[in-house]
Structure 1
Amino acid sequence: MHNNYYVFRQLSKELEAKISKTELLACFSQSRDELILGFSNVSGDFYIKASLLPEFSCLSFPNQFARTKSNSVDLFPEFIGRKVESIQQFENERCFAIHFEDNYALLFKMHGNRSNIIGFESEKAFELFRNSFPQDLELQLNELDRPIDQVKEAFFQFDGNYQKLFPTFGKLIKQYFQSIRLNEKELEEQWEIISLLESDIRNPNKFYTILWNDEIHFSLFKLGDIIKEEDSCLEGITQFYYTYSKENFIRKEKKRLAKQLEKQRNQSINYIKKSNQKLEEVLEKPGYNQLADILMANMHQIPPHAKEVELFNFYTNQNIIIPLKSHLSPQKNAENLYRKSKNQKIELEQLEASIKQKELELKEVEHKLSDVNAAEDIKSIKKLIKQNPQKERAQVELKVPYKKFEYAGFTILVGKGARENDELTLKFAKKNDLWLHAKDVTGSHVVIKQQSSKPFPPLVVEKAAQAAAFYSKRKSDSLSPVIVTPKKYVRKPKGLPPGLVHVDKEDTILVKPEAWWIETTKKN
């Protein structure tokens, strides 16, 4: 309600008493949407601060104002040194004008996100504060009044449509009428409520900053929770401006931080849940070492070239079917299983470590959420913003030349294009990282980041190879050969086109091209 005709009626009267016969000594801007006017006479100085942000336009009247030495520009120079003669409030309009000597005037057009301040000379507009509204140069001061016959007969004529009779009531009064279900009452009772309220706000005794429907408002009548109460409209709207700016910042940032941290918490919870399920599935099945032990104990029962064999599992006292590689001997199959057992042990250790790390991260996020909910002042909020620069990190990540995936605690990077492939391989990959690429076709470079000299688990290598195949010309093949080598064996001689490199030493594995990370995201 701070940009409301009834507010400006009171404001204009108080302004005239304050600045009539004063001289405008300063008119400058220190930011794009803010104008400061400084008036002075023998009684002292008076300041008007016009904040005309698109999302929040409001006037305030600080007791003092220190101008910065830089980033400050003088505006409306024709008005400097001129004395104020009068203040004009326009009927049923969110506009008022400060009239200066020699037929100059500054019009304050307070129309929400289209607010502006316009300079006039001899009734003709010649300068704008916000040049993005050139149509304001066509405004005529003598055409701004909107006389309306606001009588009972007209209200009944409009069939109770109060907005046609009182178009300047504004959003707050509209919300209030909705809360009391005004439209459900008889027209006679509606008129009585409206006329009483209109009488109160036309001649208010107090000026309130209130909390109503979880939002901060300036009001000319008591409503919701009273935050501030002032006898002067100038003081009341100034207190509202400071309260709104402070409280709105706190509310907005608390909401943003809470949303950001809740997202992190849910991601951690989903990761822990999924990882524990995977851990349980692996632990419930017979381990590769157990299968190998069973094979070794039953070599004489395994027929040559068998693809599977059913044997007695002495760990569970039940029979078990064990898949075999038909081209290998039973002993070689057992050796393969023992080798897999070692890798499986490493993978399980890494999975358990990842779960513990995520549990620690979850505790930290929940602690931060508690801090956000408890924060009540700007200092605390700013401290929390510094601790959680999520937006800045996201902006940095958007600029990197790769897509990033995680699997079993390992980071897999996939180049976004030919030039990005070069940047990934030559700038981001270290010599002991693992480098992958679909064999003999164009495609993305893929890098698995090394973890403290740990070996790369076969399953992680397989997943990275599937990504390399998926982001290549072999995407639609049933099986794709993929080059796997430490990055130190990859070089780029001068003159090669973007994305092309030489590989000095390589191994090749066959995988099915698969976008496994999409399924992972869906499950999360």
Structure 2
Amino acid sequence: MKYKILTQISEFLSKFRKISSIKRVGDLMIAIRFDGDYELIFDLNKTSSAIYKSNQIQIKEYKAPFDILLKKRFNSAKILNIKTLKNNRILAINVSFTGSYKELISTLYLEFTGRFTNAIICDENSIILEALHHFENSNRSIKVGRVLTPLGEFEIKEKPCEIIKDFDKYFQDEFAKISLKNLEQIKANKIANIDKKIEILNSNLNILQTSDELENMAKELNQKANLIIANLHNLNDYDRDLKLIDYSGNSIKITIDASPKIAANEMFKTSKKLRQKAANIEIQKENLITKLEFLNSLKNAIHASNDANEIEILFPKKQGQKSEAKFSDLVENFYINGYKISLGKSQKGNEFLLKNAKKDDFWFHLKDRASTHVIVKSNKQNLSDEVVLFASKLCVQFSSKSSGTYAVDYTKRQNVKIQNGAFVNYVNYKTIVIKI
């Protein structure tokens, strides 16, 4: 953030009289709505700090002490003044909030200072009440209860910058420029992570033995074990290299690690396990293929997305919750604006969703064609257009591999009647058209 740009922005913001709302919309992003309808994002990323306009999707609600105090002192507060501190890339927003008992004077310092970029809340006596980042070094201490040490003025050397004539356009262009750079980096990181998972699954799939191979191994072990048992009367407990005649009259060598009787019993056990594994190998293979198909669909969805927050919802840094781990092979859960959206990853996953959804939850499905089932846990609330759109996009992206225009039907779960497995009839539905 250039000093001369920040100075122009503070002069522009000085025309506003009130902070209608203020909240964090990202770990390092604060959204401030001025005079009811003019909202700006103050991005405090130390490598690319900026101020811009954006219709960001709020990924989560922040409830840290900083956020609670920010709301208490600045929501619906009267703006006393907004200024850029002299020869410092710091925006100071001074406000007054009249509560039930007294007037609170507060200052929010938004410091666009590179390495130590920060947001600091102080009272009328410059006492630090809270900060986005707490730290202490030889020059400065940002700790609750301390007096804020102001940064000294210094000569700022910058290349000549533009004179902002249209602030709306500037804020929109700034968002477009920064978000495009961030978007490409986020996509690259997420896709690289998914590619690693795909590589591991492909490797597991390639080394997966066939049921015939496992059956043959089980049969061979069983035959050797029976042969040892049949010759126990001729064997000593200390024998390890056995030379026996099989049932076809052929000489066979068997090397064992324990006494013949114990070794034979272990062979029987292993043979039984191999047969069980052979019986389940197709299920294991199907699970691996299902996971691969899901990850490839997820990769395509991330690649097609033009919203960094949407990508974070699709593939968050911390995946799911431990309580949901046992269902991870059946469904995938996504979270947006306090809503939980579940997606069936297979036929069994679709059946699981239908069986466990509540009557007021919302069900999504492609119109007149096979698709994954999507359930939005509603908590008896109506869905916003944003949630409906996101759930519908998920339904399309994880059901079709080709781009095009798709119709998605959605209705409450109580309007969906199960015919057989995941095959259903439904009534009282709405339709949304999605283009991917």
TM-score for both structures, normalised by structure 1: 0.40
Asked which structure has the greater RCO (Cα within 8 Å, sep 6+), the reply is 2
Of Structure 1 and Structure 2, the greater helix share is in 1
TM-score for both structures, normalised by structure 2: 0.46
